[in-house]
Chains A and B, each alone.
Chain A
Amino acid sequence: MSKRAGFLLWALLVGIIALSLFVPWGDLGALFATDSDLAFAVLVELRLPRTLLALIYGAMLAAAGAAVQALFANPLASPDLTGTTSGAALGAVVTAYLIGLSSPIALSIGAVAGALGALLLLLALAGPRAETATLLLAGLAISALAGALTTLALALAPSPFAFYDAYDWLMGSLVDRSLAQSAFAGLPAAAAILLLLRLAKPLDALALGEEVAESMGHDISRLRLRIVCLTALGVGACVAVCGAIGFVGLVAPIFARRLTGGHPGRAIWPAALIGALLLAAADLAVRAAPLGRTLPIGVVTALLGAPFFLSLVANMRWRIAR
Chain B
Amino acid sequence: MIRARDVALPGRLEPLSLDIEEGRLVCLVGPNGSGKTSLLHAFAGIGAPAGEVEIAGVALRGVPLAQRTRLLSFLPASREMRWPLVARDVVALGGATRAQAKAAIDALELGPLAGRRIDRLSTGERSRVLIARALAPEPAVLLLDEPTANLDPLWQLKLMAMLHGRTAMVAMHDLDAAAAHADRLIVMDRGRVAADGPPNTVMAGPVIAAVFGIEKEGGRWRPLSPSAGPRSLP
B89 and A319 within 8 A (CB): no
A215 and B83 within 8 A (CB): no
B45 and A215 within 8 A (CB): yes
A262 and B83 within 8 A (CB): yes
Q: Is residue B80 within 8 Å, beta carbon to beta carbon, of the partner chain?
A: yes
Q: How far is the CA of A205 from the CA of B68 in the complex (A)?
A: 14
- Please name the residue on chain A nearest to B62 by beta carbon: A217
Separation in Å of the A218 CB from the closest CB of chain B? 7
Residues facing A in B63-99 (CB within 8 A) are 63-65, 68-69, 72-76, 78, 80-86, 89-90, 93-95
Q: Is residue B126 within 8 Å, beta carbon to beta carbon, of the partner chain?
A: no
Contacts A207-B83, A319-B84; A212 near B74 (Cβ below 8 A): yes
A209 and B81 within 8 A (CB): yes
B46 and A208 within 8 A (CB): no
- Please name the residue on chain A nearest to B75 by beta carbon: A212
Interface band, chain B: 20 to 34
B83 and A209 within 8 A (CB): no
- Please name the residue on chain A nearest to B67 by beta carbon: A217
Q: What is the number of contacts between chain A and chain B, taking CB atoms within 8 Å? A: 72
Q: Is residue B143 within 8 Å, beta carbon to beta carbon, of the partner chain?
A: yes
Contacts A205-B93, A209-B78; A261 near B44 (Cβ below 8 A): no
A204 and B143 within 8 A (CB): no
B65 and A209 within 8 A (CB): no
A208 and B82 within 8 A (CB): yes
Q: How far is the CA of A108 from the CA of B133 in the complex (A)?
A: 45
Q: Is residue A206 within 8 Å, beta carbon to beta carbon, of the partner chain?
A: yes
Q: How far is the CA of A74 from the CA of B41 in the complex (A)?
A: 25
Residues of A within 8 A of B14 (CB): none
Q: How far is the CA of A206 from the CA of B94 in the complex (A)?
A: 11
Residues of B within 8 A of A107 (CB): none
- Please name the residue on chain A nearest to B83 by beta carbon: A207
A207 and B69 within 8 A (CB): no
B76 and A211 within 8 A (CB): yes
Minimum-distance CB pairs A-B, first 6: A215-B74, A73-B82, A215-B44, A207-B83, A217-B68, A214-B46
Can you list 7 residue pairs at the A/B interface with Cβ under 8 Å? Answer: A205-B93, A209-B80, A211-B76, A212-B94, A217-B65, A217-B68, A262-B89
**Beyond A214-B45, A262-B85, A322-B84, 19 additional pairs, beta carbon < 8 A:** A70-B83, A204-B93, A207-B82, A207-B93, A208-B81, A209-B81, A212-B94, A215-B45, A215-B143, A216-B65, A216-B95, A217-B45, A217-B64, A262-B84, A262-B86, A263-B83, A263-B85, A319-B119, A322-B83
